[in-house]
Amino acid sequence: MTFSELLNLDKISAPASALSQPGAPDQAHKDGEPHRATHQHIGVETTIPPQQKRKPARHHATKTPRHPGPMAAAMVRRLRQAVRRIGKEAATHRFTAQEKADLAQIIYEQRRQGVKTCENEIVRIAVNWLIAEHRAGEGQSVLTQALKALRA
């Protein structure tokens, strides 16, 4: 029973003869006729006009493509080339405890799949991806949007 139906229970005035027997199935309705729903736990029959019937919720999540397209393959090639070069410049970055734990979890998952990696490699991939995406984004990159959101 929906919240609005609960609120409307006191407004419904159904004669005692119209109440269906508890446990009896709801009768099918024809197009144009109101649908009668019996709430067996309280024995009240409500009438729902056809235009107010609820449609089932549909969940349309964004899905990752099964086979990455040529753009994704090109990006992976560029990232691979960038990260394969040995980084000589030292840098210190400050991470939160949660960020460090998330990186450790990614490293653990990759090692279980047979891929040896480290924090440095993952961070370099992320930095190179941000730079490439920013250059191609023409002002609409994820980096630009995130920076604007931080300053808002």
Q: What does the pLDDT look like over 58-91, one tens digit per residue? A: 666 655 555 556 667 888 888 888 888 888 899 8
CB-based contact 45:27 (threshold 8 Å): no
Q: What pLDDT score was predicted for residue 105?
A: 97
Q: What pLDDT score was predicted for residue 67?
A: 54
Q: How far is residue 99's CA from residue 57's CA, in Å, rounded to a whole number?
A: 35
Flag whether pLDDT at 4 surpasses 90.
Answer: no
Q: What pLDDT score was predicted for residue 18?
A: 47
CB-based contact 128:83 (threshold 8 Å): yes
Q: What pLDDT score was predicted for residue 95?
A: 94
For the chain, the domains span 3-52, 95-152
Q: What is the mean pLDDT of residues 43-63?
A: 59
CB-based contact 46:36 (threshold 8 Å): yes
Quickly count: other Cβ atoms within 10 Å of residue 38's Cβ: 19
Q: How confident is the model at residue 152 (pLDDT cuts 50, 70, 90)?
A: confident
Is the pTM higher than 0.75? The answer reads no
CB-based contact 45:18 (threshold 8 Å): yes
Flag whether pLDDT at 44 surpasses 70.
Answer: no
